[in-house]
Amino acid sequence: MDNATFRSNTVLSDVHLHCPNKRHLMVRLNTVGQPVFLSYFKLLWNTEDSSSEKDVREATTEREHPYGSGDVLCDKDGNNLKKERETNIEGVEALLDDDGDLEVVRRPRSASDLEAENLLRDRVYPVILMKGGEDAFEDEEQGGTCSDVVKIDNYSIFIFTEHTMATPLEDVGKQVWRAAFLLADYILFQRDTFRCCSVLELGGGTGITSIIMGIVAKRVYCTDVGEDLLAMCEQNVALNKHLLEPGRGEVKVKELDWLKDEFCTDPEAPYSWSEEEIADLHDHCTVIMAADVFYDDDLTDALFRTLYRITHNLRNSCTVYIALEKRLNFTLRHMDVTCEAYSHFRNTLNDLENLQDGKMKYTVEPIKLDFCQFLVYERIEQLELWRIVAEQLT
């Protein structure tokens, strides 16, 4: 009993923790017997809107801070609450009891206070479809909960996603994670940067980030491993053709194993690469992205090796975007709250930046998360976004 070991075989994404009290739509069982659910995620802003980024940022700020900026807050009647607080301070002595204890007299709560509390305490979550999916859309819109949903040609923009709700650690790609939403937000915010690009996603999982990228990019190779996961990803691409068709973007689902040095080109294998697709990737890819794939040190090392190998073979310089969530855990080994997977990622990222092999140069910088939010999720402070510019020296 010198070394206590705790094991957990199930991992649940925070995105799925706060679900409405509705009957979930389980669409099928996957090949390993896991239930697969169907969710839709709402875009908060029209990706083709001509409004300025400043207006969007201000609108987002107003939504997050309904009282605006400054120290002066006003209630519904326009009374200055700051002056009220000062008056209360002056009368503190009158509120002391015989023993000198302070008797706090609370101000009656107004309707505006209750409304503000509801805004601040509102939980955000994906809306899980009930049986009769079309009715679920209608009921929610009639209930007034879709006031922020963007309308184009009289219909709402939704991203449909098949996913699981809880999996073993090796199947976490079948869930939806917050860092994927963060990267999707950045893609929509900087859509002109990615317009008509050829893009590779490493560890695409359910494919939600590749689908968002497919709205603006010319071609996206969404890659992962596992036939069941790739089949789910391909199904999600098919479910979202309504988003890809206007811009004629293309999302191709392919297998890419970081633990192997070569692309899978076996024509008998599902999701394998053709020689033409490999050539197209090497000739035209200028963007590589990955979201929430750093949870195992060996896989982190394998990803960076794959990243080096691919960027070295590209004809053009490439920009890599990495989104992740720093997850804190209490460990018995350290007897403290640590984040070992994140620490290993930062060390490996630092090694990549300091690489001096005379072939490649990598420039690394963090991206500030001050851009507006297009998808509904909790943008917690542990989320990070990194940009890596890969340039060939020879």
- What DSSP assignment string belongs to 220-275? EEEEES-HHHHHHHHHHHHHTHHHHTTTT-EEEEEE--TTSSS----TTSTTPPPH
Rounded to the nearest integer, the mean pLDDT of the chain is 77
* Strand 26-29 versus strand 329-331 pairing type: unpaired
- Looking at the DSSP bridge assignments, the partners of residue 337 are 330
Residues of the chain with pLDDT below 50 are: 1-2, 4-7, 20-23, 47-82, 84-85, 88-89, 92, 119-156
Query: Going by C-beta distance under 8 Å and a sequence separation of 6 or more, which residues neighbour residue 322?
Result: 289, 290, 291, 385, 386, 388
Q: Name the β-bridge partners of 219.
A: 198, 250
For residues 15 and 125, the answer to whether their CB atoms sit within 8 Å is: yes
Q: What is the tens place of the pLDDT at every residue in 142-185?
A: 443 333 333 333 334 778 888 888 788 888 899 999 999 999 99
**Torsion-angle region of 196 (φ positive above 0: left; ψ -120 to 50: alpha; else: beta):** left
Neighbours of 285 (CB within 10 A): 22
Which pLDDT value is given to residue 106? Answer: 63
Closest CA to 289 of 360, 205, 172: 205
The helix-helix angle for 208-216 and 178-189 (nearest 10°) equals 10
pLDDT score at 160: 83
User: What 3-state class would DSSP assign to 364?
Assistant: strand
The three-state secondary structure class of 68 is: coil
Query: Can you tell me the distance from the alpha carbon of 20 to that of 154, in angstroms, rounded to the nearest whole number?
Result: 26
Are the C-beta atoms of residues 249 and 237 closer than 8 Å to each other? no
Closest among 47, 50, 59 to 151, alpha carbons compared: 47
- At 109 the pLDDT is 56
Residue in 185, 40, 184, 57 with CA at minimum distance from that of residue 125: 40
CB 145 within 8 A of CB 42: no
- Helices and strands: H and E segment counts in the chain: 12, 15
Long-range contacts for 215-219 (Cβ within 8 Å, ≥24 apart)? 215/47, 215/188, 215/191, 215/243, 215/244, 215/247, 215/249, 216/47, 216/187, 216/188, 216/191, 216/247, 216/249, 217/249, 217/287, 218/249, 218/250, 219/249, 219/250, 219/251, 219/252, 219/280, 219/284
Question: Could you please report the per-residue DSSP string of 5-46?
Answer: ------B--GGGTS--SS---EEEE-TTS-EEEEEEEEBSS-
Say what the pLDDT of residue 143 is. Answer: 41
Strand partners for 80: 74
